[in-house]
């Protein structure tokens, strides 16, 4: 489906159907009020009504906010794709709503049918946003940026949705190389020999029982004279069986999504390079598969991480933090960054705390967390801060090693996982670092907002928005 922004009169737009957005108040003034009433349309949020004889699709919103427009547009595009209309348009009065419309059409209309023997076909080929005001140049910049970010989010969804047989650590590295070629990025891949030389023993232990070699991926986007340097770190567990602390069978389904942090980091550097932001970005991904076998790492093992800290393993299903411990340490040696963010589907406890829609944010800088909160609110993604405290830190104390990979109590699991990572963040970087737990927000089996079944691309939109604001 092609989406475009046109600067012309709506009467000149040669499309099959027009979209009109109405609230309960504006419905009262609509010239189609009688027909809509007969159809039972009340203009409540996420409601739609076709008036085929007038070539109209009327969309209900509770208010004309970006969140409501995005959500209703997602409903509308799904309905349009089931019709025989080939083109649609919408007249825009407020350019600030362009990103919400783009995300609604692109992300709400997203489909993933790679593994379907019969592909979904739709007649709809073109969607035109009509903007007639004088500041069209500003509007086209907003539109172009919105399309880049939406496409990068869809790209991230594609990777998350790819099954573990097709996307394993080596093929993840191949995908990164392909992106580097297409977007003029530098790419460095460390295989298991290089990882051993780097003494990344925690990461290597997690992948030891897999038939696929673990890989560390490092992509770099480096414009001339960048104003900021940003490190992005992603958990890339291409599949997580839980290891010897085996997950229940039902919990293993959807574990292809345990690579969502690494996928998001790829989507972020794709968006940033295409937006041509004047920011140097380093993306690090620990690509590993956590399996069972005679060579699997075990509860009661003590691992010596790259930093030299020793880790008591009490649960092999708390594996993502082991991978991130080594990758964070490597990243800090590789880059002196102004910001360091990590993204991981780290804990089910984050979903217990915040629900499935919200990303948990942890770190030491209240100011940085506040800036992220503003960016996420503007982008349409949901984030919430979870507080560190010294009492929870005691729960990951080990009697036989420097630190334990799980808490000794069943409470505050998202925070204790964040505190585990904090132990591998150097003092000079504490205020620059934030941890994002996307366990709930990265994947959904129940569509909501502009998210359809499967990967959501969580993180790409709000990090892109945040980085657009720092230059």
> Which contacts of 176-179 are long-range, i.e. CB under 8 A and separated by 24 or more positions?
176/217, 176/219, 176/266, 176/285, 179/219, 179/266, 179/269, 179/270
Token pair for residue 439? 């366990």
Q: Which of 33, 199, 247, 374 is catalytic?
A: 247
Nearest to 59 by CA among 34, 23, 86, 31: 23
- Name the CA dihedral angle for 450, 453, 457, 461, rounded to a multiple of 10 degrees: 10
Nearest to 354 by CA among 261, 416, 437, 433: 437
Nearest to 407 by CA among 467, 324, 349: 349
Distance CA 144, CA 176 (A): 24
**DSSP secondary-structure letter at 354?**
H
Q: Which of 70, 256, 259, 321 is catalytic?
A: 321
Within a 10 A sphere around the Cβ of 96, how many other Cβ atoms?
Answer: 12
Q: Which distant-in-sequence residues (6+ apart) come within 8 Å of 116 by Cβ?
A: none
* Residue 78 known to be catalytic: no
Within a 10 A sphere around the Cβ of 212, how many other Cβ atoms?
Answer: 18
Distance CA 35, CA 44 (A): 16
Nearest to 371 by CA among 388, 359, 385: 385
Distance CA 217, CA 80 (A): 40
Nearest to 180 by CA among 223, 219, 151: 219
Distance CA 195, CA 203 (A): 8
* Angle 315-442-425 from CA coordinates, rounded to 5°: 55
* Residue 54 known to be catalytic: no
Distance CA 319, CA 345 (A): 11
The answer to whether the beta carbons of residues 340 and 430 sit under 8 Å apart is no
Place of tokens 């027909």: 35
Token pair for residue 175? 């995908």
Return the beta strands (E) in 277-402 as ranges.
279-290, 302-304, 310-312, 339-344, 359-363, 383-385
Which positions are annotated as active-site residues?
247, 321
């Amino acid at each position: 489906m092609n989406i475009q922004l046109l600067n012309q009169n709506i009467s000149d737009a040669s499309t099959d159907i027009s979209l009109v957005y109405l609230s309960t108040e504006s419905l009262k003034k609509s010239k189609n009020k009688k027909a809509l009433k007969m159809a039972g349309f009340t203009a409540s949020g996420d409601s739609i009504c076709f008036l085929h004889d007038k070539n109209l699709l009327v969309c209900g919103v509770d208010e004309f906010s970006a969140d409501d427009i995005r959500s209703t547009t997602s409903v509308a595009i799904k309905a349009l794709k089931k019709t025989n209309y080939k083109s649609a348009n919408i007249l825009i009065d407020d350019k600030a709503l362009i990103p919400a419309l783009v995300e609604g059409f692109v992300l709400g209309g997203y489909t993933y049918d790679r593994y379907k023997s019969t592909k979904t076909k739709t007649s709809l080929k073109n969607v035109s946003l009509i903007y007639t005001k004088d500041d069209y140049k500003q509007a086209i910049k907003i539109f172009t940026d919105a399309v880049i970010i939406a496409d990068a989010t869809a790209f991230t969804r594609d990777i998350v949705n790819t099954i573990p047989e097709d996307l394993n650590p080596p093929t993840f590295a191949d995908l990164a190389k392909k992106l580097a070629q297409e977007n003029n990025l530098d790419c460095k891949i460390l295989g298991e020999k290089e990882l051993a030389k780097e003494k990344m023993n925690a990461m290597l232990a997690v992948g030891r029982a897999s038939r696929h070699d673990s890989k560390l991926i490092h992509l770099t986007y480096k414009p001339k004279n960048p104003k900021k340097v940003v490190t992005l770190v992603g958990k890339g567990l291409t599949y997580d069986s839980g290891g010897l602390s085996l997950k229940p069978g039902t919990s293993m389904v959807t574990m292809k999504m345990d690579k969502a942090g690494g996928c998001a980091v790829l989507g972020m550097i794709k968006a940033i390079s295409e937006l041509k932001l004047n920011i140097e970005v380093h993306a690090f991904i620990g690509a590993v598969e956590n399996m069972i076998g005679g060579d699997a790492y075990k509860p009661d093992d003590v691992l010596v991480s790259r930093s030299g800290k020793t880790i008591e393993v009490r649960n092999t299903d708390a594996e993502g933090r082991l991978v991130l411990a080594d990758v964070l340490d490597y990243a800090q040696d590789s880059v002196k960054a102004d910001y360091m963010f990590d993204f991981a589907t780290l804990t089910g406890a984050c979903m217990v705390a915040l629900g499935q829609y919200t990303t948990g944010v942890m770190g030491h800088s209240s100011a940085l967390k506040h800036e992220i909160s503003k960016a996420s609110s503007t982008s349409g993604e949901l984030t919430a801060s979870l507080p560190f405290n010294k009492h929870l830190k005691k729960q990951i104390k080990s009697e036989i090693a420097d630190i334990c990979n799980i808490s000794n109590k069943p409470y505050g699991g998202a925070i204790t996982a964040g505190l585990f990572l904090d132990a591998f963040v150097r003092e000079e970087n504490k205020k620059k670092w934030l941890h994002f737990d996307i366990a709930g927000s990265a994947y959904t089996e129940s569509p909501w907002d502009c998210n359809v079944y499967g990967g959501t691309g969580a993180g790409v939109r709000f990090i892109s928005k945040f980085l657009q604001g720092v230059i």
